Structure 1
């Protein structure tokens, strides 16, 4: 007997399909423009399928020193930032998950305080400046190395692990570091994979801090460069302070969209490898005492 589809189910399918189209169509348009000739995309001769396919935009970007330098900066910031953030978050969360640690409640209160109150942009800038971090990767990495929310979630996950594992490891003579690296971390792959993805996206999409703290544009990551490419193209001006003359002169819709796709590619490539942990890890670590 065939299952009957109700009007409600049909309506839900239609609504979800329309929402999906609003996401997919712009993405397809970006792909189409990046593989097209500038004159065709500017004249609106196509929508999501180029009349003539070309790799000129990608060949140009992959030979442009300014774009490659910003791409390298983003890779360095993302790799270093993700490694540092995971290390600090995991070690601090593990320490706070142990009820016998002296001063644990005071440390939790201080961390929780930062979830409610923030110093603001100007005090943050003054701190970074007084630490001589302006125009260095440290200006981007250190202020965002962790957050109270991330620590609380990871801590809650560690607390959910069976205490018997910790006790068995101690009986075998393991210390805190051995327990953390040999017992806790192998059992925490879902939550670690989840926050690895979170931190990677955070550092790869870094824009605001880079614009504020990095006066030397040669240290810019990819996101400020993309913003500058769009601004220069839309205003028909050239700024060698942010882009070299060759890149500014050759900006077109195909180059812009190709740059957007290349900037998205690393995160899109990594996500499938973390997906099997992400769905589970996103639901773990609910706040629990």
Structure 2
């Protein structure tokens, strides 16, 4: 391959710089506005690029009120439990569907793919959740979306890509399906499992629509509270007075909630980034 011309390299660098700026500047505005004082928000017309008088008043207000703190605990619990259950069920089903000769494997696979092509509507899903007695319970946020078809196909393709000789050698040594899955398949599938776990975690963490339908306001997760604050313009009931004796600017509260809702996923992603491309591409190619 020929070395790119200096003009080409400069163009690529300029394009990369513009893209990075388009991503970082809005995030910087969000963080800066959440840290800005009331006078900074008023002086800059509502949005602050760099706070002159930084303060943690917005964070102390929302975390001291109890609403966001409870919602954060709900989101963390639903994400951890939901990701663990979804990953386990998806792994077991994908392994069963990846093995040839499984009784009923083909019809089950077609049934799963059918649900992907023709998803149920909102009304049938609500009636099902209501009929099972899961309204206003956290199970309604997990069980209806326990297995994602895309994640299932990725894992199934990855399992099918494992050399058949490993399965045959394990069976010759007397290993059963559970031993093969636990000692051979799972250790070789760390990349795909990490990607699927990230997909599930992001889905559960960002879920708000089902919460708005199935849960009462006192049990809302963080994303539904965030939507209420940002889209609905709601504020915390016990918002205190600012240093100027005026009610704190709503932008600081809204951006503080947005930062709290975004940072946990940003902290998790770097640890799984090295598995991301490898796991998705391998699963997609093998399938």
Is the TM-score greater than 0.5? yes
**Match of residue 259 from structure 2:** 261
What is the CA-CA distance between 1:14 and the residue it aligns to? 2.1
1:79-132: per-residue Cα shift (whole Å, max 9, x none)?
111011101110000000011101111111111111211221111111111111
What CA RMSD, in Å, does the superposition of the two structures yield over aligned residues?
2.0
Conserved 8 A contact 1:70-1:220: yes
1:113-164: per-residue Cα shift (whole Å, max 9, x none)?
1121122111111111111111011111011111222111110100000112
Bigger drift between 71-80 and 258-267 goes to 258-267
- The within-5 A match list for 1:1-289 is 5-44=5-44, 47-214=48-215, 216-233=216-233, 245-247=237-239, 252-286=250-284, 288=286
Count the aligned residue pairs: 278
Structure 1 Cα separation of the partners of residues 169 and 132 of structure 2: 44
Structure 2 Cα separation of the partners of residues 180 and 36 of structure 1: 53
State the TM-score, normalizing by the size of structure 1. 0.90
Conserved 8 A contact 1:86-1:195: yes
Structure 2 Cα separation of the partners of residues 41 and 251 of structure 1: 7
Structure 1 Cα separation of the partners of residues 50 and 248 of structure 2: 23
Structure 2 Cα separation of the partners of residues 250 and 152 of structure 1: 49
Conserved 8 A contact 1:58-1:258: yes
> Which consecutive residues of structure 2, in runs of 5 or more, have no partner in the other structure?
241-246
State the TM-score, normalizing by the size of structure 2. 0.90
> Which consecutive residues of structure 1, in runs of 5 or more, have no partner in the other structure?
none
What SS is found at the alignment partner of 2:102? coil
Structure 1 Cα separation of the partners of residues 229 and 100 of structure 2: 52
Structure 1 stretches of 4+ with a deviation exceeding 3 A read 3-9, 247-251
Conserved 8 A contact 1:85-1:145: yes
How has the CA–CA distance of structure 1 residues 30 and 99 changed in structure 2, closer, same or farther, with 3 Å as cutoff? same
Structure 2 Cα separation of the partners of residues 286 and 220 of structure 1: 35
What is the CA-CA distance between 1:57 and the residue it aligns to? 1.6
What is the CA-CA distance between 1:184 and the residue it aligns to? 0.6
Conserved 8 A contact 1:229-1:251: no
Conserved 8 A contact 1:62-1:68: yes
How has the CA–CA distance of structure 1 residues 287 and 146 changed in structure 2, closer, same or farther, with 3 Å as cutoff? farther
Structure 2 Cα separation of the partners of residues 12 and 244 of structure 1: 46
